[in-house]
Amino acid sequence: MHNILPVLTVLAAHRVAVDVLCPLCKDQPKTLDHLMKGCAVVVPIWQTILMTSTVSGGGDDCIAWMCNTLSKGDAATKLRAVAIWWSIWRARNEIVWNGKPWQLSNVVNEIHRNIEAWQSVENVPLPLDSPSHA
């Protein structure tokens, strides 16, 4: 599953001329693990919105961590985790492809808007809920 998303290091490995530094912190090579979980810019988002301190560690496997979060978390945790991933990924794309600057407040606001919008859908089970919770 790794290397499925075109983060800069994957593009560089395929000889696409790109800057491989993380567009958020501009300090570390941008891998999917770094971007989604280990970047010093996104760690406070996880810690604040997901209310967890288990996010830090740039070398950790973000896919495994997310799968663990989704398999063990309650519905609210799952919803928050997916909203954070979605918004970080969208913000990253805006930086890389459209040259828009990272604005933490905009990303956090989008996360909260998505959480509220997804929670407001009545009588529809959360897509990540197991059938036993439906």
Contacting positions for Zn ion (CB under 5 A): 22, 24-25, 39
Angle between helices 62-72 and 75-98 (to 10 degrees): 150
Q: Which is nearer to Zn ion, 8 or 39 (CB)?
A: 39
Sequence letter at residue 122:
E
Q: Which is nearer to Zn ion, 55 or 115 (CB)?
A: 55
Instruction: Please give the distance of CA 99 from its chain centroid, rounded to a whole number.
Output: 19
Q: Which is nearer to Zn ion, 25 or 70 (CB)?
A: 25
Query: Minimum CB separation from Zn ion for residue 131, in Å?
Result: 37
DSSP 101: P
Query: Minimum CB separation from Zn ion for residue 59, in Å?
Result: 13
Side-chain half-sphere exposure of 23, counting CA atoms within 13 A: 23
Query: Minimum CB separation from Zn ion for residue 95, in Å?
Result: 11
User: What does the DSSP assignment read for 35-94?
Assistant: IIII-TTTHHHIIIII--S----TTS-HHHHHHHHHHHS-HHHHHHHHHHHHHHHHHHHH
Q: Which is nearer to Zn ion, 108 or 126 (CB)?
A: 108
Query: Minimum CB separation from Zn ion for residue 66, in Å?
Result: 17
